[in-house]
Structure 1
Amino acid sequence: MPTRSATWRPTVSVVIPSVGKPGLRRAVESVLAQTHPVTEVHVVLNSETDVDLPGDPRVRLLRYLERRNGNAARMAGVRRCTGDLVAFLDDDDLWHPTKIERQVRDIAEAGLADSSTWISSTKVVVDFAHGSETWPRAPYDPSLSLENNLLQRHRVQRGQAFLPSSTLLFPRSLPMTVPLNEELSLHQDLTWLLQLSRTLPDLAVRQVDAALTRYDAIGDGISRSISLDRELDWAREYLGSATPRDRGDYYLGSVMTYARRQGTVGGMVGVFSEGLRVGRPGAAAVGYACGAMAAGVVKAVAAGVRQPRRRGDETDAGAEVR
């Protein structure tokens, strides 16, 4: 007898929010090359410029000029989808040809084909300016909630829980039940996943143990424009109901990353202090934060040493180090 995994052939719609980046055509081509054929590809373009798209009848262009955020574009695309399942892809990311096929097979083999409360992800090859890494470093832990997996830190090095939107596949009804926040300007993926975890306690999360998505960390993404103040505002608003461990780990891990990027020792010390006050971080998060602060101090001291001193400027030069 054929198994459910062999007979389940769901239709798949893809939504690609775009501002017209040069990689858009390659992203669309990686969708059209899937071994599990997609039914439609909705490119939701937040730009008035012309874009280069493959001449395939499955590719539909929607200009969305409200100048809001990526989630608003994603939801505009979702509302036009007709497939059983929906997948997101950013316009500077790529899929391996077997991504959708392997996710569909995994869902079927897990007995979730008839369910509407699941979400599937894959591992990711993250491209940096000086090389690539495969994230997340540790597999998804089904004994913990999705929220725990997203916020807790179990290793000092970067590349912890990582479920970017370009990896996600889910039933079309899911974002209609728990819509994406169309007003949010940062952490759009993470916020939706937290909302899913908190709204649907029976949500099943699957992660294919293969790097089937390629994620561009070289270009100018939204995360690079996030200031420490905005990051702290987000954490205070959206992590109030998180466990002390989750909240503490996020502060000393992710928030500390923004503090380190800002480059002020005072900012890093402030994040460390607030993280200990509002949460109970684990050893890995504390280790990461201490390493970040030590590197920040060394960088600040080095900058102070390089600062040319003029006669009578000794006090100002000392202030640069602080």
Structure 2
Amino acid sequence: MKDVAARAGVGLKTVSRVVNSEPGVTPDTERRVQEAIESLGFRRNDSARVLRKGRTASVGLVLEDLADPFYGPLSRAVEEVARAHGALLINGSSAEDPDREQELALALCARRVDGLIVIPAGHDHRYLEPEIKAGVATVFVDRPAGLIEADTVLSDSFGGARAGVAHLIAHGHRRIGFIGDQPRIHTAVERLRGYRAAMDEAGLAVAEKWVSPGSTAPARVRSAALGMLAGPEPVTALFAGNNRVTVTAVRVIAEQPRPVALVGFDDIELADLLGVTVIAQDAAALGRTAAEQLFRRLDGVPGEPSRVTLGTRLIPRGSGEIPPYAER
């Protein structure tokens, strides 16, 4: 750093300000310092910076499944916010396994990340209490933390599902099936609750065979959909509880001899071309909001744990506007 200062004709403090993107440096001076850095091949010593500031300039992100398209824009948004704050993002997948989630989160803490953003797989997050007390800022996203109070950013799963089912009802459907995710997952519970609320508000009874929570594996979803579409009084419409369910539902409906309406929760690739009506979440906004809250905490902003709920959006594209076959 001394060599950079000498070559640029400035003091050590000025070099430090440029390297750490701090204010108080004129454009001309910053240019001379950057030229000196490039000429000398200077690299910032992050180890020394950690010792001086007590921060590692890194944050961890624990996702459910890196292969799920929903988490791509969420992860990218977190990374963009982290980068704007000069921090490195380290992420990993829990594979929807609570034990793996805990192992991954604690491994990130052991590597001294400054903060964590967690999409929970489990229902007990007391294992993070010592880390949070030690100063690891923590924000939960998509689902709330279990058995601890923490900053949380959610989508309105209940309101979105209620709006999607109400949309089908408004187009004449009275027998509507719901295929959702595992009943232990917060979002799955909220979306089923929204489905039931819309049916109840319309004065429609729900038959037991119309509701099928469980694994989102294609074989399980296919079996559930075919069961609802069979018999003397089949459902005339399906509400899919997430993007993976929607993909299988589209395939099953394409095989049916008569039209079946469909609304899916979460947008899917090519949904606009396929004409699939969806309740869309803003995954990028979820990630960005969570990351911004995390860095506010890291900057020392006090306050009780917050809970932010972001709205969803109904996107009609055709599949949710098909009237019941019997009335055509």
Structure 1-normalised TM-score? 0.23
Higher Cα radius of gyration = 2
Instruction: Please identify which structure carries the higher helix content.
Output: 2
